[in-house]
Amino acid sequence: MPSNVTAIMPGTFDPVTVGHLDIIARGACKFGRVVVGLVEAPVRKAPLFGPDEREEFLREALAKHPNVEVDRFNELVVAFARRWDAHVILKGLRAISDFEYEFAMAQLNRKLAPEIETVFMMASPEHSFLSSSGVKEIAAFGGPVDDLVPPAVARRLRELYPPRV
């Protein structure tokens, strides 16, 4: 039963994949509200899609969940969480390779905001090797991504990169 706890799920979502959607949907069953936080201007890597398009993909894919909100942010994750009065940061964990970075981020965020808990959900086995960058790579070479992303994203990628197989 959903509790009255708000969780934020931060990410770049460039673009959103079915792996992200799986974690958000599972989170929405466990928390009263999940606020998906879109990093508007990532510092690490320039995104393929602008914030408007990334937000639109998320909104469309998540419209069926009454307790899921989408918002953008350009501040510390903990500041975003506090803005929504959220005490949980929800993250998906795939292979071991995610662990080191996520472990460090969780510790840093705990130092900045001890009242906020980072909660990890294990990726579903079928999504364990799915990433936004992998999707972009497949699409760039004209490969099929229909099973990996919501339909609107697959359509847009086909426009950008006409299929070759």
Q: Give 135's Cβ-side CA count (13 Å radius).
A: 27
Which residue, 1 or 127, is less far from ligand ADP as judged by CB? 127
Asked if 86 interacts with ligand ADP (CB under 6 A), we say no
- When asked if residue 94 is in the footprint of ligand ADP (CB under 6 A), the reply is yes
Going from the C-alpha of 5 to that of each of 34, 90, 98, 149, 151, the distances in angstroms are 9, 12, 25, 28, 31
Other C-beta atoms closer than 10 Å to the C-beta of 99 total 12
**Does the footprint of ligand ADP cover residue 136 (CB under 6 A)?**
no
Concatenate the DSSP letters of all residues of 18-86 into one string. Answer: HHHHHHHHHHHHHSSEEEEEEESS-SSS--SS-HHHHHHHHHHHHTT-TTEEEEEE-S-HHHHHHHTT-
> Contact with ligand ADP (CB under 6 A): which of 6, 8, 11, 33?
11
Site for ligand ADP in 95-114 (CB under 6 A): 98
Q: Is 67 in the site for ligand ADP (CB under 6 A)?
A: no
CB nearer to ligand ADP: pick between 69 and 98: 98
54 in contact with ligand ADP (CB under 6 A): no
Q: Are 15 and 153 in contact (CB under 8 A)?
A: yes
Token couple for 30: 């466990």
* Residue with Cβ nearer ligand ADP (7 or 162): 7
Does 130 participate in binding ligand ADP (rule CB under 6 A)?
yes
Task: Kindly state whether residue 131 participates in binding ligand ADP, applying the rule CB under 6 A.
Answer: yes
Residues that bind ligand ADP (CB under 6 A): 11-13, 17, 19-20, 23, 39, 91-92, 94, 98, 123, 127, 130-132
